[in-house]
Amino acid sequence: MKKLSLSTLITAFIFSNIAMADKGDRIEKHIDRKGDRIEKHLDKKGDRINSRLDKKAERAAANGNLKRAEKLDRKGDRIDSKLDRKGQRINAHLDRRGERYNKNH
């Protein structure tokens, strides 16, 4: 009878460890997806802003205001790259957090 209960305890222990590993993997995947969504959102936002400023720059150039056109173009590129870097930084942070959680649990 004691051997049966010991084997039952060992089996329960093994399955509980497997369940904890699954929980860590699920949470890591969830955090990764969240980071990817944030990065994609910021990338699209930067592209929209850059596109809008490029249109303004084209209108300024068509009206003969080349300095303003160049300034608007640089501003759009700067904002786009800034938002891209921000998205990558947030995604990398969340990836590290997911790996840490999976490692600890």
Tens-digit pLDDT string for the chain (105 aa): 445 566 665 666 666 655 555 677 888 888 889 999 999 999 999 999 999 999 999 999 999 999 999 999 999 999 999 999 999 999 999 999 888 887 776
Q: What is the pTM of this model?
A: 0.70
Residue 6, pLDDT score: 61
Domain map (residue ranges) of the chain:
2-104
DSSP letters, 3-68, are: HHHHHHHHHHHHHHHHHHHHHHHHHHHHHHHHHHHHHHHHHHHHHHHHHHHHHHHHHHHHTT-HHH
